[in-house]
Structure 1
Amino acid sequence: MASLEDGYSIGQLAKLSGVPVKTIRFYSDAGVLPERDRTAAGYRLYGEEDLARLELIRTLREVGVNLATIRTLAERDLRQVLALQLRAVETQLTALQRTRAVLRATLERGRPSETDLRRLNSLGRLGAAEREALMDAFVAEVGGGNRARERWLTELRKAMVPELPAEPTIEQFDAWLELAELLADEDYRASLRKDDSGFWERRDRDEEAGAGFEGWREANGEITRTVLAAIEQGVAPESAAAVPIVDKVVTLLAGMYGAPDPGPEFRRGLSRGYEEHDPRATRHWELVAKIQGTPWPHPDTIAHTWIAEALRAHPA
């Protein structure tokens, strides 16, 4: 058995950390801060590492981490514990910076309104955990069991729900809230799940055959480059000069969709798809651009807007 000289008693640890003895005892009994040893008299003993762990536990509890998750820390070394604590503190600082930015912007606008109060009450929805949970649900529902679409959405998840800057403007904050509401919208999810379902069924079969997204990305990139070059040259979508460009785009799209004949029927289907495209999907990416402070519209959006107009002007 160890002696009290070999470590901190629970009372000493409480004094050093500022955490009540009762709380430390609860953490030890729950397995999140197991004592290092016990004296012959049965007193719990803790070491220097336990002092650091206790501070981390307190920090993690303040940001809502449950005890089951914290319990795994007992199996990690001090460096891992300190790294986790650093991340937790940085998360807290970022949350405080955002709160400060929103409060400052609200006060600068004059008398606060009910909208301002709702905005402040929504600050808790901006954490990394909330963002991840939102995207988990979105990917699962929109993917609809199609592995190819789920994989594609997983690759895009960070782009689809970007993190707010540490000090967002009111416009960026409102864009994030609107985006969160959009992603949680059941009707929007159902619309995306239905959109291009035939294409994703084919992609799923290709996945089973071992084909990846590389060919799809290359074709999509070539379409965007081709159309943007035409726009830069001043080619209007309704002009005769647009015809060979549309033909090339249709051929590339036919390859992506696995259509054996890029003829009039396929073109009409493409045109119909553009007409039925849910405008909320475009709004989604516009909100992403607002949050990130990047130019809008995106080059892909510009290109596909041109294609939609060109297909209407040249149906066959």
Structure 2
Amino acid sequence: MLTSYDGLWGIGELAARAGATVKTVRFYSDRGLLPEAARTSGGHRRYDSDALDRLRLIRSLRALGLSVPEVRRVLDEEDTACAESGSGGGALEDAVAGRLRELGNEIGALRWREAALRLVQEAAPGDRADRLRLIGRLSVPPSTAPLVRFWRGWLPPRMPRRSVDVFLDIAVPQPPQDPAPSQVLAFARLSALTIAPCPGAVRPQPAAHRAAGAREATLLYAGLAESYELAGVQIRRERGPRPGEALDSFVDAYTRAYGVRDSAEFRRRLAGQLAGDPRIDRYWDLVAEVVTEPGRRPEPTPGTAHDWLLAALAAETGTPLPAAV
């Protein structure tokens, strides 16, 4: 390949050396990313060896998925660093980190789509219409917003925001990053359950909510979270409901909220009140399916922990429990 007498290259020659097209070189030149060294009397662009290095860098950045504005920021930083004999890299690090986040979201969405496709593929013909309907209501990747709205309507309205956020972290499962088809189905059903309750049904509220102010609600739910964690340890060990630290913590959450002392009589009244509270077992069953990988033992949820603790309290006080619904 011949080089002109002035040591500069025309646009076609630069494109050939870089393995690019003339259209590509012109595109970056027109946007100011690829400065020309000179122009001929006829207005033709001329480039030097620095332009070749810059063009190769631009193409490398674009191959990583960086946008033209991001490439511009990286190049501007490189130019400034060279002029000031300093070190750049911040713009490149930010752009790469941002692209990695985007790729993570894209990969997550693809995994959900793949699992959803397998869910439909594996379904019996009579089940496909229902599964398609459920999947069609999910965003990809799926959003937890319907679940959050459900719980904000369930919790006492006067609870401090921080306490609400703590409870939501416990009660709202995050969609698995690499779900199995069964987990996609469970999350879709869970989302549908919170969006569209049974026709004519009023969302039930536990009796404890009606008596709790902001301070009492904060004490109650902080104490319940602690007792659920303790009960979860017992459930993982496959131990049945029993008296002990978890149950005492559970009762203590209510005594602090109500401002009363623990006693056998209080425990009997509490067991009776909790036994009559509305149940949302279906919600917690689906949560367990979402957070548990297929083939593994179901993970304890606040719902299963609550049932374990209530069963322990009922057994201790001789209170009959209604059948689960």
TM-score (norm 2): 0.55
Distance 1:249 1:121, change over 3 A: closer
2:176 matched residue in structure 1: 164
Does residue 1:173 correspond to 2:184, yes or no? yes
Decide whether aligned partners of structure 1 residues 13 and 175 sit closer, same or farther in structure 2, where only a CA change above 3 A counts. farther
Between the aligned partners of 2:240 and 2:151, the Cα distance in structure 1 is 39
Question: Map of 1:213-252 to 2, 5 A cutoff?
Answer: 213=222, 224=231, 232=239, 252=252
Shift of 1:115: 1.9
**Aligned mates of 1:121, 1:233 — CA distance in 2:** 40
Report the counterpart of residue 290 of structure 1 in structure 2. 289
Which letter does structure 1 place at the counterpart of 2:194? L
Is 1:309–2:314 an aligned residue pair? yes
- Alignment correspondent of 1:271: 271
Task: Identify unmatched segments of 5+ residues in structure 1.
Answer: 25-33, 59-69, 236-241
| 1:176 CA drift (Å) | 0.3
**TM-score using structure 1 length:** 0.56
Secondary structure of 2:139's counterpart equals: helix
Contact 1:176 1:291 in 2 (8 A): yes
1:95 matched to which residue of 2? 109
C-alpha distance in 2 between matches for 1:139 and 1:35: 52
1:63-90 CA-partner distances (Å, limit 9, x unpaired)? xxxxxxx99x979822222222122222
Match of 1:81 among 92, 95, 99: 95
- The 5-angstrom pairing of residues 1-316 of structure 1 reads 15=24, 52=61, 55-56=65-66, 77-109=91-123, 111=125, 113-122=128-137, 124-127=138-141, 130-131=143-144, 133-134=145-146, 137-138=149-150, 140-142=152-154, 145-148=157-160, 150-159=161-170, 160-169=172-181, 171-185=182-196, 191=204, 195-199=208-212, 201-203=214-216, 213=222, 224=231, 232=239, 252-262=252-262, 266-267=266-267, 269-280=269-280, 282-293=281-292, 294-295=297-298, 298=301, 300-307=305-312, 309-310=314-315, 313=318
For 2:122 and 2:299, how far apart are their aligned partners in 1?
Answer: 27
Q: Matches of 2:188 and 2:247 in 1, distance apart?
A: 41
Deviations 1:207-226, CA, capped at 9 Å, x for gaps: 9xxxx94x76556666x499
**Displacement of 1:295:** 1.6
Number of residue pairs the alignment of both structures matches: 260
Aligned residue identity for 1:163: P
Question: Aligned letter for 1:114?
Answer: A
User: Which structure has the larger Rg over C-alpha atoms?
Assistant: 2
Q: Match for 2:215: what amino acid?
A: R
Which letter maps to 1:81? A
Which deviations, in whole Å up to 9, do the C-alpha atoms of 1:78-114 show, x marking residues without a partner? 2222222122222222222222233234324454731
Indicate the structure with greater helix content. 1
Is the CA contact (8 Å cut-off) linking 1:147 and 1:204 kept in structure 2? yes
Unaligned stretches of 5+ residues in structure 2? 1-9, 40-53, 75-89, 321-325
Identity %: 15
Cα shift at 1:193: 8.2
Shift of 1:268: 5.5
Aligned to 2:77: none
Alpha carbons of structure 1 residues 158 and 52: separation in structure 2 relative to 1, 3 Å:
farther
* Contact 1:138/1:189 (8 A) holds in 2: no
Q: Secondary structure at the match of 2:260?
A: coil
Write the distance in 1 (CA, Å) between the matches of 2:233 and 2:148.
35
Contact 1:251 1:262 in 2 (8 A): yes
Offset at residue 288 of structure 1 (A) = 1.5
